Structure 1
C-alpha cells in the first residue's frame, strides 16, 4: 500500500480501441497502442524499437521462471484460510495478488483453487453501497479500485464471463461517487477537485487517484468520461510544471516536470519541501502521474508528458526510488513498469544519452532480489507495508507482466 481548475491547455486525446472478449468488462490491453499509433512527435527522452516482439526468448524465460516461483510462494504460503492475502488490508492485497497471478496464468488461472478462493473472498467484500472493501475500512477507494482490476481480469475467462457485471457496475458508480467533486462540496478551483483519497485522510492524493483512473479505465471509461477528466485536473496539479494545468502556489517553485503526492490541504510531498516551499518531485509519483496522463488520453507529444519524460530521463535508476531512497521501492518498480509500457517506451536514453532497455534492466534487478522462498520483500524499508511479502510479491509480478508484454 502506498501513501496514493480546468486544464489550461486542451490535451490531445484519442479514443482507444476495444479488445473483444466475452465480457463487457474485459481488460483493455490494446488501447494504449492505438493512442500512440497516430503520434509522430517523439520527445527526446525516448527511443522506440520497431518491434518489441523481438525481445529475446531468454528474457521471457527468465521472467517466467521468476513469476512461477513468486506465484508458488503466494499459492503455498501467502493465502489465509478465508481466501485472503494479507487480509488486514481488506480487499487490497488479495485483489492485487489475484490480478498478478492471472496476468501470468491467463484465463486458465481462474481454475486454480487458490484463485477461486480469493475471488470468493473479494465477492464477500462487496458492500451495500457498491464498494468492495472490508466493513469499517479507511481505504475504500484503494480496496475497491484494486478489486475492480482483479474482477475485470477474471472476467476474461469465458467460464466467468458476465458473472461480475452487476458488482462492477455498482463499483464503478461507487468510485465516481467518492471522487472529490461537487458532491463533496468541492468546486473546480479547489486543489482537491477531481482527486481520490484513501478515505481516512481529509484530502485526496495522486497514488489513490492513479488507482481510481486505472480502475475506471478497466471499466471501459475513456478519456472523455467526466470522472476521468476531473481526475486529470487533479493529476496535473500534482506536476511541477507551471502553466500547463497546475495553477497552485507550487507550480513554478521547482519546475522539473516531476510529480509530488498532493496539492490539496496545503500540499504535501513525501520527498519533502525545498527551502522556498516547493514540493519535491519523486520517482514513484512521477511514474504514477505519467501513467495517469496516458490513461486519461494525453499523447506523447503533449508538453506535460514530455516534461514528465524529461524528469524520468534525468533521474533514471532502478537502484532506488528517486527522491525516496528505499522507501516505496517496489511500488516504484510497479508504477515504473506500468507507466513506461503505457507510454510505449522500449529504450530510454538517460541524461547522459546512455540507452537503457528498461525491461531487461528491471528483470535483472528483480531477479537479483528474489528471496529463496520465491517471494520479494523490501528488506531496507517497511514503510507503506513493503515488509509484507504478499503485497511486494504482487507488485513484482505485476511489474514482470509489463516487462514481458
Structure 2
C-alpha cells in the first residue's frame, strides 16, 4: 500500500516528467556541458571522505547537495559513491523527524537539503517513513501561530536556518523546494504560508505587501528578509529601503512559481522585469562575487521554473542555458572543481561550489 507521502511523490514526479521537455543546446554548448559535467562528477567522486561525506563539519548539508547533484546527472542509489553518501545522510535522522547534526542551529537548512537529495533516491520507497517525518518536522519549524506569529507578523510563513533566529528568504526558498519535492501542491497550507513571507520580501507594493519597505525602492526585486526590522545583504538606501539583489530575486521568483503564483501576476512580472534589467553571469547582481555560485544554481532553477528559453534585455536575446554552460566551462579548474575566490558563505569550499555548479547544469537540461 502506498503511504500518503509516497503517493504525493509519485504524482509530483509524473507531472514533472510530463511538463518538462528537454532543452536543446547548440553543439558547442553541448560539448562544454558534457565535459564540465563529467569532470565535475569525477572531482566529487575523488573528494568524498571514507565515511561517505563531503565537508563533514556541515553535517549532512553539503553531502546532501553533492549527492543530489550526482543523482541529477544520472548516478543511481546503487552507485558506490552515492550509496555511501546516502548512508551518511540517513545517519543524521532524528526522532523529531529532522535530519541534522546534533546541536545544530541549521536544522531547517540541513533537513531541506537532505529531503531534496533523498526524494531523488526514493523511487523504490526506501525512505518513505523518513521523508514523512521530515515533512512534519519542516512544517513545525515554519514560523506561524504556534510560535505566536499570526498573519500580521513579519515572521509569518517564513523559515530560518532552524535555530531561534528570524526567518529569511533563502531558507524559506529551501523550504518551498523541499515541500515541492515532498509532493506539496500550491494549495498546501504550508506553501501558502511561505508565499505570504516571500511576497513581503519583494520590493513591490501590492495587496500582498504593505510593509514599510515595499514602496521605498519598488523595483520588483527581492532582498534577504523583512523580519526583525528587515535586512538586505546588498545594503540599505539612504531612505531606509532594502536593496534588491540577484540571488534573492531569482529565489523569490522561483518560490512564487512553485507556490502557484501565475506568470501574469504583477509580482511575477515585476520580478522578471528586474531580472531582464539586471541580467548577467559576470556576478551576483548587487553583490559582486559574493555568493556568485549560489546565484548560478538559483538562476538556472528559476529560469527553468518560469519556462523561458531566452531572456530579452535591451537590444539582446540571451540564450541563458548556453551562456551559463560557457561561463561555468570557463570557470572550471583543471581538476574538475569550481571555487569562488570570494570565500563568503563557504564558497571557497570546492565541494560546495562544485555541487552548486552541477545543480545549475542539471537545470540546463
TM-score, with structure 1 as normaliser:
0.86
Show the 5 A alignment for 1:206-221: 206-221=169-184
Change (3 A) 1:123 1:397: same
Please report how far the alpha carbon of residue 250 of structure 1 lies from its aligned counterpart in structure 2 after TM superposition. 0.3
The yes-or-no answer on 1:368 pairing with 2:338 is no
Compute the displacement of 1:323 (Å).
0.5
Separation in 2 of the partners of 1:237 and 1:32? 28
Partner of 1:358: 320
Aligned mate of 2:117, from 147, 150, 153: 150
Q: CA deviation at 1:199?
A: 2.3
Aligned to 2:25: 55
Q: Which of these residues, 391, 398, 405, is aligned with residue 352 of structure 2? A: 391
Instruction: Answer yes or no: is 1:312 the counterpart of 2:281.
Output: no
Q: Residue 86 of structure 2 aligns with which residue?
A: 119
Match of residue 70 from structure 1 = 40
> Offset of 1:246 from its aligned partner?
1.3
1:349 aligns with 2:316: no
Return the alpha-carbon distance in structure 2 between the equivalents of residues 26 and 155 of structure 1: 10
Determine whether 1:87 maps to 2:48: no
Indicate which of 22, 25, 44 corresponds to 2:9: 25
Is the contact between residue 115 and residue 131 of structure 2 (CA under 8 Å) also seen in structure 1?
Answer: yes
For 1:4-403, what aligned pairs fall within 5 Å after superposition?
25=9, 28=12, 31=15, 53-77=23-47, 79-106=48-75, 109-156=76-123, 161-200=124-163, 202-350=165-313, 352-379=314-341, 381-403=342-364
| Structure 2: tracts of 5 or more residues without a match | 1-5
* Higher fraction of helix: 2
Instruction: Give the deviation of 1:119 after TM superposition.
Output: 0.2
> TM-score if structure 2 supplies the norm length?
0.95
Residue by residue, what CA displacement relative to the aligned partner does 1:293-340 show, whole Å, maximum 9, x if unpaired?
000011211110000000000000000000000000000001000000
**Cα distance between partner residues in 2 of 1:206 and 1:335:** 13
User: 2:166 & 2:79 partners in 1: Cα distance?
Assistant: 39
Higher relative contact order (CA 8 A, sep 6+): 1
Tell me, in whole angstroms, the C-alpha distance in 2 between the residues paired with 1:276 and 1:361.
Answer: 36
In structure 1, stretches of 5+ residues that fail to align are 1-21, 37-50
